[in-house]
């Protein structure tokens, strides 16, 4: 299974509708969330239409946001992650509510050596520079879910 935050954020204000649809399609094609096939087909149809943009394109992008958010929350098993416009506008991508992730953590550490051997659960690592990394542990094996610098 792919990690949720490999994708790139993009700024819809600096792109036209065609480029935005292409960026959303790239995210949907990369992650292939459950239920996204119809969205990918609709997106391809939007790109090939004579007059593909406008309200329908914006509705489609909203539906893509919802599909990617649902997928990321299912993969991460937490509600602190979403896909769409960042809280303060501008770029679109995966957004982490860091404060909520820290609250949801089963364990908060300053160093990974503090994680007990064989641990299972959600760990948040906050280093001395304030960077936050979320990791899912299963019987001592870890998988990075996100890193916010």
């860091």: which residue's tokens? 98
3-state secondary structure of 126: strand
Among 21, 123, 31, smallest CA distance to 70 is for: 31
- Return d(Cα 134, Cα 94) in angstroms, integer: 14
pTM, two decimals, is 0.74
What is residue 123's predicted lDDT score, i.e. its pLDDT? Answer: 94
What is residue 125's predicted lDDT score, i.e. its pLDDT? Answer: 92
Q: In terms of DSSP H, where are the helices of the chain?
A: 17-31, 37-48, 55-76, 98-104
- Return d(Cα 83, Cα 104) in angstroms, integer: 19
Cβ-contact 143, 135 below 8 angstroms = yes
Pairing relation of β-strands 107-109 and 121-126?
A: parallel
What is residue 3's predicted lDDT score, i.e. its pLDDT? Answer: 42
> How does pLDDT run along the chain (149 residues), one tens digit per residue?
334 444 566 666 677 778 888 888 988 998 899 889 999 999 998 888 776 566 788 888 889 999 999 998 888 777 888 888 776 666 788 888 888 888 889 999 999 999 999 999 999 999 888 889 889 899 988 888 888 87
């990075």: which residue's tokens? 144
**What residues does each domain of the chain span?**
12-96, 98-148
Q: How many CB atoms lie within 10 A of CB 18?
A: 13
């Amino acid at each position: 299974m792919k990690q949720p935050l490999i994708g790139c954020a993009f700024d819809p204000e600096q792109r036209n509708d065609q480029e935005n649809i292409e960026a959303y399609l790239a995210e949907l094609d990369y992650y292939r969330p459950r239920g996204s096939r119809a969205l990918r087909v609709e997106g391809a149809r939007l790109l090939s239409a004579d007059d593909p943009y406008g309200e329908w394109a914006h509705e489609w992008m909203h539906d893509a946001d919802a599909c990617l958010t649902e997928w990321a929350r299912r993969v991460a098993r937490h509600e602190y992650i979403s896909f769409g416009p960042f809280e303060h506008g501008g770029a679109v991508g995966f957004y982490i509510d860091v404060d909520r992730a820290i609250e949801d953590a089963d364990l908060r550490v300053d160093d990974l050596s503090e994680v007990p051997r064989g641990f299972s659960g959600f760990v948040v690592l906050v280093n001395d520079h304030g960077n936050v990394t979320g990791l899912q542990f299963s019987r001592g094996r870890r998988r990075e879910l996100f890193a916010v610098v």
